[in-house]
Amino acid sequence: MRDYEELSAFLGEWGPFQRLIFFLLSVSIIPNGFNGMSAVFLAGVPEHRCALPPGANLSSAWADASLPREQRGGRDVPSRCRRYRLAELANFSAQGLRPGTDVDLARLPQERCLDGWEYSRDVYHHTIVTQWNLVCDDDWKVPLTTSLFFVGVLIGSFVSGQLSDRFGRKTILFATMAVQTGFSFLQIFSTSWEMFTILFLIVGMGQISNYVVAFVLGTEILGKSVRIIFSTLGVCIFFAIGYMLLPLFAYFIRDWRMLLLALTVPGLFCVPLWWVIPESPRWLITQRRFQEAEVIIRKAAKMNGVTAPDVLFDPVELGTGSYRMESVPGKPGFLPHPDEKIRGKYTFISIGCSIHS
């Protein structure tokens, strides 16, 4: 009674085929590192203050004194969200009175930033915060943007496994790559915060789904010893590479739309991988697509320079269920891969680490 590990043992553990799959699947993880923390820069909050209208008719002294002072971080700084009522200031300015000397500023009435905000460009040129004024009364929208991204991550972690079981590892891997890349590109053309956030939620679904399915595909194709390295170092290191490249992109690109475009382009380089990365032979066998699985295994043998057995799937064994076929009526296939019992744990650990970081 043979299982898949025994069936494919002749391929070896670390031949050219395994090295290629290890590297390509790991590389496909890099864009996930971009999207995982991109909100830090896309939604960066620069220093800001209430803007004065062009026709405010204030002297330079009153324009400088138009903002109340407040304590922030142990320092006395101008308010970000309040200003003195302009009608009062214009009246004092017209009378030639001096702020702080002739007029007690502490007694002046205040108002909200009715004419928008002025933003510092020392760190960011444009972010979604400056684009849609997500400050003061609307500052809650910034953390909500990130939270909804991780809601998408949570949803994707649940549906990706079911979809890959139904339609195949490779199909869902590249479909979720397309979702992540395509909807990231659409975000560039967002006309409102609501549009940006909804698209960001979908990007989160694609991001984690791409990660999980690449993880599953690698563990099913690679042998036992390499599988451990792939699931601990391979995907994690290449995710970290994307994570570390993100600040480099953000340092040189200070506009959120152009930054998002730069983070989207690497996903396009994964398109040619469709013709290189194979479907999981293990999954094909569970679907009774033995001929397709055999083609992949024989190609792997040729790449590794080993001779495959003349008969991989013995018709007698197939007919008697000697390949450990499941006994569920209408759903024949190999018994679950040993790692399938712990994949859910890996998924939730990955999500937890992402949120914690």
- Gap between the Cα atoms of 56 and 64, Å rounded: 12
CATH, range 4-43+141-356: 1.20.1250.20
Answer whether 82's CB lies under 8 Å from 68's CB: yes
Distances, alpha carbon 93 to alpha carbons 49, 53, 78, in Å: 21, 15, 20
The residue ranges of every structural domain in the chain are 4-43+141-356, 48-119
Distances, alpha carbon 34 to alpha carbons 75, 90, 148, 288, 346, in Å: 35, 49, 17, 38, 20
Task: Give the orientation angle of helix 30-37 with respect to helix 256-268, to 10 degrees.
Answer: 160
Distances, alpha carbon 265 to alpha carbons 182, 185, 252, 262, in Å: 10, 9, 16, 6
| Tens digits of pLDDT across the chain (357 residues) | 467 777 878 888 898 999 999 999 999 999 998 888 899 999 999 999 999 988 778 888 888 888 898 888 888 888 999 999 998 888 888 888 888 888 888 889 999 999 999 999 999 999 999 999 999 999 999 999 999 999 999 999 889 888 999 999 999 999 999 999 999 999 999 999 999 999 999 999 999 999 999 999 999 998 888 888 898 888 889 999 999 999 999 999 999 999 999 999 998 998 999 999 999 999 998 888 888 888 999 999 999 888 878 777 766 556 545 444 443 334 444 444 444 444 455 455 554 554 444
- Gap between the Cα atoms of 170 and 178, Å rounded: 12
- The one-letter amino acid code at 354 reads S
Torsion region of 246: left, alpha or beta (phi above 0 gives left; psi -120 to 50 gives alpha): alpha
Quick one: tokens of 299? 């190609």
Element (H, E) at 118: strand 117-119
pLDDT for position 317: 57
In degrees to the nearest 10, what's the CA dihedral of 23, 27, 32, 33? 100
The structure tokens 């990365």 sit at 277
Quick one: tokens of 91? 């009246």
Closest listed residue to residue 105, CA positions, set 91, 80, 84: 84
pLDDT for position 34: 87
Quick one: tokens of 329? 């009526």
φ/ψ of 317, rounded to 5, equals -65, -40
Quick one: tokens of 285? 């066998």
Q: What is the pTM of this model?
A: 0.82
Determine how many CB atoms are found less than 10 A away from the CB of residue 108: 17
